[in-house]
Structure 1
Amino acid sequence: MRSRSTGRRACAAYPVLLLLLPALAAGCAPADRPGATSGNVWQSPRAPATAAQPARTAAPSDSPSPTRAAPQHVFPVRANNVAYHPTHSAYPGTDIFANCGTPFVAVTDGRILEVSRVDRFDKRGPLGPNNGGLSVSLLGDDGVRYYGSHLSAIATGIDPDVRVHAGQPLGKVGRTGNANNVCHLHFGISPECQGHDDWWIRRGVIWPAKYLDSWRKQGNRGPAAEVTGWQRDHGCPKAPAKPGGGG
């Protein structure tokens, strides 16, 4: 029977084997550590921890599409001393009363559709086509047509197909057309439809007041859904339901 010291020398004689053969090292341990118990047994060195896997980077297709910001809307008259009524005679629209010369501005970003720089209104002529006097219509990026009439002047550079941005001056409040000598802006909201020569639609098909209320308080309530619904129900009528009454 080998002595305890002999066992110690045997273990010391094979350091390389101890490194390469953990099982042999475990067999020598009891001779090196008298009185060792099962709860205090030498353990072979653990293998290096495996590096943590990097977090998965989402592929471009995994990323949600960015939410498109709603178009900005602003009040069409740049003044504090304005007044308007929620209703209008004969058809949906709003007359915004303000001093002559008050700036009329683009309600939202978009493209100019029609510009009338000459007041052709004549009480003896057919009522409707020229009632608005000097006027501008804008197709907003939200798909809605915005119309302002009875202007005293049109801003320089405002022509069909010109791009404009929200708040950009389009003209000045006046009393041309059938404004009855009262300075105001006739304001109409409608779908694009023909985009020209359809005054019975251009003058307005939905009530603007609730949108004006929002914009006047720096809100951004948009009429696109209501205009789309109106066009779905009515299409683009080829003639006015009632003669006259164009703004």
Structure 2
Amino acid sequence: MAGELTRLTPRDRHLLDLLDQHKTLTTDQLVDLAFGSLGRARNRLNTLLSRDILDRFRHYHRPGSQSWRWTLGPVGAAILAAGRGDTLPRPAAVRDATARLAMSPTLPHLLATNGFFVALTGHARIHGGRLTRWYNETQSRAATGNLVRPDGHGVWATGGRAVPFWLEVDLGTETLSRVVGKLTGYAALPPPRAYPVLFWLPTTAREANLHTHLTRTGTPDGLTVATATVNHAPDAGGPAGAVWWVAGQPGRVSLADLIPAGDGTPWDG
């Protein structure tokens, strides 16, 4: 491990931090986050794999091949632990954690959540703007005082605006009443944490049904609730674009144009 410290580039360290915080990212996601070129990404990732700094897995998939999912390898995990002053993990323990992640039923949800933030980062690289904060589920829950369990939290900055938000990623596996029920927890947050709640949905049909449900049940006071869909967003600028349908309002707005529904208390962001 000591020898690897002299061979790691700043980008390598950035990759280790990303995988430490967000558990796993696909090859394409890492291209958007750190490389910009698939060829460069493959070359460097395979080098780090051969040195046990990174590890990877994928499932059988036909037709074609599933993209590799990258994680920390034993040496990479040891480097991060040493930097924090923690006990160095056993290589077998790191491999076991990767195996558990590969078989986790929540893996698709994790990749979808990470993909949302990766899309914002990719948009910033090409069109401007900046994702100034990206919290994982654990960090987001801590920021809410465990009153609610967001899938993520971010701050999108562009054009002199900084828009904090909570993210809920929906894969269509829960009932709409359960999805809408999550808003009760967000309504209990203090005004400085009353960020817009974004629902990232799989289809426009699911989105329309959710808004019908919200029209019937109402949106809690003090909350801005907005939705967008995976199958519509790529054609309209991705999650940074004018893809957000605010509950109770016509049309769609960009992420930067979302505003809180609270009492004007300054945002943390």
Q: What TM-score do the two structures reach when normalised by structure 1?
A: 0.24
Q: Which protein, 1 or 2, shows the higher relative CO under an 8 Å CA cutoff with sep ≥ 6?
A: 1
TM-score, normalised with respect to structure 2: 0.23
Larger radius of gyration: 1
Larger helix percent = 2
